[in-house]
């Protein structure tokens, strides 16, 4: 893992815990990753994988501990500031793509740019991203007209539209057949290398997890960091 002191491209988690009532889902989790790093989060169902991903993505607050993204503690921001920060810094790809069925592929990719008018050249960038994910001829289509793999590629383009420092994926290949899942995984790695973001993927697929530089293995709320093969 390439080290850098540039806080503009850094994720740091310190002594993080998450409780739901009397149930402690995460216990004293600490790690840090820099720009260009790929990370797989693995573990059995209920081990806290998605909870950890949601905290990194600022969708849930930790019960204890500290989160620092690009030198900022996002949970110290006001709600409007946090929403703006999340939209600019974090990209999300979920198992269910969450595309809006009434909008075209191009319009779906543009949605993250609408709230804060951050990208004056947003349409051009969206078109370029769709070209990179192989969907130039699908821009005017609705999600219902696409295959599962095509919908997931739209979701990836949408997640990258604001050039996030961190790309978070929750089982992005979980609903896909083996061949399509491999294609989506290859695409994620290709775009990750090009964008130099921090790529963090929750997956049950141990073969996929082995392709990452780092593996965060969760069990009973405890996190163990191991080196992967890295690609």
pLDDT in tens, 161-171: 999 999 999 99
Residue 117, pLDDT > 70, answer no
First-to-last C-alpha distance (Å) of the chain = 11
Mean pLDDT of 200-217: 93
pLDDT in tens, 14-69: 999 999 988 999 999 999 999 999 999 999 988 999 999 999 999 999 999 999 99
Residue 5, pLDDT > 70, answer no
Q: What is the CA radius of gyration of the chain?
A: 17
Among candidate residues 206, 218, 172, the one with its CA nearest the CA of residue 43: 218
Cα separation, 192 vs 75, in Å, equals 26
- Average pLDDT of the chain, as a whole number: 90
Mean pLDDT of 93-109: 93
The confidence score (pLDDT) of residue 116 equals: 62
């Amino acid at each position: 893992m390439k080290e850098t002191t540039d806080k503009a491209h850094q994720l740091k988690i310190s002594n993080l815990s998450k409780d739901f009532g009397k149930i402690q889902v995460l216990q004293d989790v600490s790690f840090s990753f820099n720009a260009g790093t790929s990370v797989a989060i693995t573990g059995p169902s209920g081990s806290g994988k998605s909870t950890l991903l949601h905290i990194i993505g600022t969708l849930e607050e930790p019960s204890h501990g500290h989160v620092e993204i690009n030198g900022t503690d996002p949970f110290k921001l006001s709600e409007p500031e946090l929403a703006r920060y999340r939209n600019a810094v974090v990209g999300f790809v979920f198992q269910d793509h969450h595309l809006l069925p009434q909008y075209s592929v191009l319009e779906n990719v543009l949605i993250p740019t609408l709230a804060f008018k951050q990208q004056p050249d947003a349409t051009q960038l969206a078109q370029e991203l769709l070209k990179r994910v192989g969907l130039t001829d699908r821009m005017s289509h609705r999600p219902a007209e696409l295959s599962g793999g095509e919908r997931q590629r739209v979701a990836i383009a949408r997640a990258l539209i604001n050039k996030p420092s961190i790309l978070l994926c929750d089982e992005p290949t979980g609903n896909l057949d083996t061949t399509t899942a491999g294609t989506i995984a290859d695409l994620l790695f290709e775009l990750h290398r090009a964008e130099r973001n921090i790529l963090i993927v929750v997956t049950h697929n141990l073969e996929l997890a082995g392709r990452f530089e780092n593996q965060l293995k969760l069990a009973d709320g405890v996190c163990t960091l191991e080196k992967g093969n890295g690609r």
